[in-house]
Every structure is written in C-alpha cells, then in structure tokens.
Amino acid sequence: MCAGCDAPLTTPLSQVALPVHAHQKYGNAIQLPVLMEPGTFAVETEPWGPPWRRWEEVGSEEAALRGVLAPVHALSYGASGAIVVAPGDTRGTVLFPERLGGACCGLDGREGPNAACEACGSLVATRIDDCSLWQATWLAPDAVRRCPVDGGGDTDVMPLSWAELVAEGSATPPFEPVATWGGSRLGSSHFWSWSPRWVAAAGQALAHLLAASEGRPVTVPDGLVADLFRRALDTLLPTGPSARRAVLAGPELPAPDTGTGSDAHAHADILLVPTHPQTGETWAPADPTTSAYWVPLPFGVWLSLVFPEPYPPVLASGVIPLDVLRDDPLAPLPPQPFRADPRVFHRTMARLPAVRSPWLREILKQNSLTHLL
Ligand SMILES: [Zn+2]
Ligand SMILES: [Zn+2]
C-alpha cells in the first residue's frame, strides 16, 4: 500500500525469487513479455535505479563496500529493496506525465519513478515497458508499505519442496519466438531464438564457471550444456590436462562424485545446480562437505537441461487438416551459436570474490570475450 495515504497499490501477492533476467536488456527493438507471473512479487535487495554514479567517481574502495569488486560502468545509488510486480497486478496508480521522457518505444524509467498513487499523488512506482526490457512495475521501496493479507491469503503458502518442483515440471524451453516491436508474439513480426531467459541465466552461470575454473580448462557434458558454455570456456580458458569437470546436479539426480576418488573421469569439481523459484535458495547436495563449486541456474532452465525436449520437435503422424491456415513460416532452428548475456555476465562477475584474482583478471582481459557474449 501507499506509504503516504495507505491506499492499496496491488492485488494480494506472494513473494518469489527475483528472476535473473529482471534487469536484462535484450537485443534491439525487441518486445519482451511481462517479467513477473500474475499474483507474485520479488524484491531487488541491491540498490537499483537513479541516481547512478560512474566508477571513476565512486572508486574501488567504496564500490567494494557496496559489494562491487571490479570496475563497472556505473553504480546505482538508488534505494535497495525495490519490489517488482506484474503491471496488471497494480491498482490505483496513474502515470506521471512529467516523468515519462527519455525512452525509445515506451517507458524505461531512467528518471526514476514515473507512476503516482491516484489517491494522494505521491510517486510510488516505475512502470517499464520500453523495447528490449521486461514489462514490469517496480514499486519504490521508500514510498510503499507491505501489509499482510487477512484471511490466510496465498502469501502464507509454504514453498514447494524440490521434489514437488520437479514433479510440477515448469521447465523454461530453450527456444522461443521473440517478438519485434509492434509485432505480436506469434504474428509475422517474430523470429525464433534462444530464450532471452536462457541468455540471461547463462550470463550468470558463465561468470560462476570462470570463477570455478581456477584458471584451468573446464569440461561440460555434451548436449544443451555444451551448446551454452563450451565455446566460451574453450576459448577463454587454457587447454590441456587437469581440466575441472562440471556436471548437472540437483534434486532427483544421482549424487555426483565430488570426493577425491581415484577415478579422475567420474570426479566432479563443479556442480550446475538449480535455484528455488520461490525462495531463491541454491539447491545443496546432501553431503555439504563437498569442495565442489556450485553454479546456480534458474530452476526452469536447469529442468530443461536435465530433461531436454527433443529438438526440433518430433513430428506427429498424419496430415494437417485442410482448413488449417499455413501462412506461418515453419519454426526454424535458432540461427547463431549461443551467446550469453554480456550485462548479466559482467554484473555477476563484478560481485564474485574471485574477480580480484590476477588469473581471472587476465582471462577477462581477452578480446575474444566480446565476441562470445
Ligand atoms: Zn525502441
Ligand atoms: Zn497515496
């Protein structure tokens, strides 16, 4: 509700983890979907939004106090704790005409809050609907208050167990039609591509994989995991023996051998594990004494990697009924090799303690990095 006048600003909502792609800027003139599922909200625990201060102004010592350990273009000095919701879940807000400048095809919120409480007029939220950004309404943490829902609303629901999540099977498909500005998602103005959510998830995971490499080669399993990471890992990391081995691990999978067993081929040094979509917690193996490095993947992406769908889709038998219009182009295979999201990669990397290591700084200096992301 509005902190100024107590007017309700959203429908009742349940908290979920902040998606990895929350701040993604994807492609050029792309129409991205709504970030949050209806009925959910998530919290950005770090500062976000204006004012931004450039790295040169802030300096490495102060940046480190804010958790940023390597140079970035700019740091947000906005408030932390912004609450993001689906725009359709907001109530009683109106756009504030004086704050709508600076956008491309829509609103990008670069000037801070652009929506006001209808009842009292205070600025309470930032509506974002510009091209290449996820549709969202970010409630300003200092302008709103959370209040518990009476009558046992779904805000009290226990998070699902890992087994329940696997059984539910909400996988994020690796490929999807991406709409260009002005086109509809399944109309003519779209192209098939790697899912923007996969691109963001891989940006985060690749930063962790490089940190986990310890400057040695890293091997990944064949299939989709290789499609995501192998080209980047093989290009950026040295070749040779003594590779560190990354494997998928998580609920319902046999425990990987992370001990110091003699069988070098079975030994896993790096575990690609899911994060919980509601709590954001990273899955932990039953034997938490393992020295393996855990690389987080959003649950839906992880599930697709563990149980991949055949691609291209297997053809059903029979013929298409005559009255089905076939003016769509056939769903083509995504064209380019996979590229992880550069902004998510750098944002993650700048917060990993390993980024201070000279060996990792050397890896990140390579020119090839810009061609891989
Ligand atoms: Zn635009
Ligand atoms: Zn108000």
Share above pLDDT 90 across residues of the chain, in percent, rounded to a whole number: 68
Q: What angle do CA 200, 172, 252 make, to 5 degrees?
A: 110
Q: Is the peptide bond before 312 cis (omega within 30 degrees of 0)?
A: yes
In a domain, 354, yes or no: yes
> Which of 103, 66, 92 shows the shortest CA–CA distance to 181?
103
CA 301/CA 299 separation, integer angstroms = 6
SS3 342: helix
In a domain, 242, yes or no: yes
In a domain, 227, yes or no: yes
Ligand nearest to the CA of 6: 2
Phi-psi region of 367 (alpha: psi -120 to 50; beta: other; left: phi over 0): alpha
Q: What's the average model confidence in pLDDT over 68-81? A: 94
DSSP H helical ranges for the chain: 55-58, 60-65, 162-168, 196-213, 224-236, 299-306, 342-349, 358-364, 368-372
pLDDT digits (tens, 9 = 90+) for 108-125: 988 899 999 999 999 999
CA 134/CA 109 separation, integer angstroms = 12
**What pLDDT score does 350 carry?**
97
In a domain, 68, yes or no: no
Ligand 1 centroid vs 29 CA: distance in angstroms? 5
Ligand nearest to the CA of 8: 2
In a domain, 366, yes or no: yes
For the record, the structure tokens of 240 come out as: 């040779």
**What pLDDT score does 320 carry?**
59
Cβ distance 246 to 230 under 8 Å? no
Tokens 């500062």 locate to 47
In a domain, 326, yes or no: no
Please state, as a whole number, how many other Cβ atoms lie within 10 Å of the Cβ of residue 39. 18
**Backbone φ and ψ of 210, nearest 5°:** -65, -40
> Which of 275, 224, 203 shows the shortest CA–CA distance to 21?
203
In a domain, 209, yes or no: yes
Cβ distance 38 to 88 under 8 Å? yes
Per-position b or e across 130-156, b if 16+ CB within 10 A of its CB = bbbbbbbbbbbbebbeeeeeeeeeeee
- Structural domain span for residue 248: 196-311+339-372
For the record, the structure tokens of 187 come out as: 């109309």
β-strand pairing of 244-248 with 218-219: parallel
In a domain, 353, yes or no: yes
Ligand 1 centroid vs 97 CA: distance in angstroms? 19
Tokens 């940023």 locate to 68
**What pLDDT score does 264 carry?**
45
**What pLDDT score does 317 carry?**
63
Q: How confident is the model at residue 337 (pLDDT cuts 50, 70, 90)?
A: confident
Ligand 2 centroid vs 92 CA: distance in angstroms? 9
**What pLDDT score does 308 carry?**
85
Ligand nearest to the CA of 105: 1
Mean of per-residue pLDDT scores for the chain: 88
Cβ distance 195 to 224 under 8 Å? no
Ligand nearest to the CA of 32: 1
**What pLDDT score does 216 carry?**
96
| Structural domains in the chain (count) | 1
Does position 265 have pLDDT exceeding 50, yes or no?
Answer: no
Q: What's the average model confidence in pLDDT over 27-35? A: 92
Ligand 2 centroid vs 193 CA: distance in angstroms? 42
Ligand 2 centroid vs 293 CA: distance in angstroms? 47
Ligand 1 centroid vs 227 CA: distance in angstroms? 30
pLDDT digits (tens, 9 = 90+) for 346-360: 999 999 999 999 999
